[in-house]
Amino acid sequence: MIPASVVIALLSLLTEPRELADVPSVRSVFTALLRRSHYGYAPEQAAFVVRRPNGTLAAVHWPAGELRDGAEWIGEYPPGVIAIAHTHPGWLPLPSRIDRATASRSRLPVYVITATSIAKTDGGEPIVVTSGSWSPESRRDRTARSSSSFVFVSQSQRE
C-alpha cells in the first residue's frame, strides 16, 4: 500500500507543467526582470526563482550591481531555489559560456530572458524555450523601438 503523501507528491508532479517557464508566476518573474533591464538596454538583471514553503513560486532579485554585462550574487543561495533567471541584451538571446558553467556548478537551470525569447541551459547545449514576443512587455518594447528608430531617421535626415 502506497502512503497517501507519496500519492499526493506524484500527483503534483503530474499536474505541474514540465517547463518552469510555462508557469504563470515564473512568467511574471521573467516579465519583471525584462522591465528592470529596460528590455535589455539597461544592465543585466537577475533573480533566483524560489519555491516558498507554501508551494508558490517567487523571485529573489539580485541586487543591482555595477557590471554592465553581467550580474553577481554574493552569498548563500536562498532557501527553496529552483532556478536562476537573468536578462541579456536582445542580440545575445542564448546562454553564454559563463551561464553554462554557472548551471553546471549550481545544478540549477539558468534562464536567459530577452524581449523576444526565453532560453535556458542545464549546463549543456542552450535550449530555446520560447521564441517570439512572449510577454505584453516585449510587445510594448517593439512599439518603443520602432518609435525610437523613427527619431533616428528624422535626425539623420536633418544632417
Q: Which residue is nearest to Zn ion (CB)?
A: 99
Residue 71 binds Zn ion (CB under 5 A): no
- How far is residue 32 from each of residues 10, 28, 29, 36, 154, measured CA to CA in Å? 31, 6, 5, 6, 32
Residue 141 binds Zn ion (CB under 5 A): no
Cell of 105: 556548478
- In eight-state DSSP terms, residue 116 is T
Q: What element of type H or E holds 10?
A: helix 4-15
- Asked if residues 46 and 62 have their Cβ atoms less than 8 Å apart, the reply is yes
> Looking only at residues 15 through 54 of this chain, which bind Zn ion when binding is defined by CB under 5 A?
none
HSE-up of residue 53 (Cα within 13 Å, Cβ side)? 0
Smaller CB separation from Zn ion, 50 or 71: 71
- Nearest distance, CB of residue 88 and Zn ion, angstroms: 5
**Quick count: other Cβ atoms within 10 Å of Cβ 150?**
10
Total site size for Zn ion, rule CB under 5 A = 2
Residue 99 binds Zn ion (CB under 5 A): yes
Smaller CB separation from Zn ion, 96 or 104: 96
Contact stretch for Zn ion (CB under 5 A) within 19-27, 94-102, 120-128, 141-149: 94-102
Contact residues for Zn ion, defined by CB under 5 A: 96, 99
